[in-house]
Structure 1
C-alpha cells in the first residue's frame, strides 16, 4: 500500500463531520434504517476498498483499536449533527 506521508486524519475532520456523517444520518432517516446499520455498511465498503488497495487486515484492526473513543464522546458528536 502507498504510504501517505504528510497527511493526517485531522486534516479531513471538517469533511467528515460536516459532509460525510450528515449524509449517512440523512440516508438512514430517509430509508428508515438504523444509523448504526448504515454506518457499518459504509465502514465495510470503505474497508474493502482499502484492502483492495493493499491495506492489510492487521493495519485496519490496529487503526480501529487506535481510534477508540469513549461512548459519551461518540454520543456528543452524533447529538451535534442531528
Structure 2
C-alpha cells in the first residue's frame, strides 16, 4: 500500500474549496448536469488513479467513511 506520511488533507483546503469545487460547480452548470453527478465522476476518476498508484480500495472506503460532514457544514456548492 502506498502511504503519504507528512502530508495532510487540510494543507490543500484552500485549493479544494477555492479552485476545485468551483470548477466542478461551474462545469455542472455549463453542462446542465447535477453537481453531484459531476462530483461523483471526479471522485471515481480520482479513485481509479489512486488505485492505479497503489492505494488500496479499503483505504479509499475508510477515507470516505471518515470524511462524512454534516450537510449544514458543507460548502455551499455541495449542499
TM-score (norm 1): 0.88
Partner of 1:41: 41
Aligned-residue CA RMSD in angstroms? 1.4
Deviations 1:7-42 (A, max 9, x none): 100000000001000000000000000000000000
Partner of 2:23: 23
| 1:1-82 mapped onto 2 (5 Å cutoff) | 1-74=1-74, 77-78=75-76
Large movers: runs of 4+ above 3 Å: none
- Stretches of structure 2 lacking an aligned partner (at least 5 in a row): none
Q: How many residue pairs end up in the alignment?
A: 78
Partner-residue secondary structure (3-state), 1:69: coil
TM-score (norm 2): 0.91
- Stretches of structure 1 lacking an aligned partner (at least 5 in a row): none
Q: CA deviation at 1:4?
A: 1.6
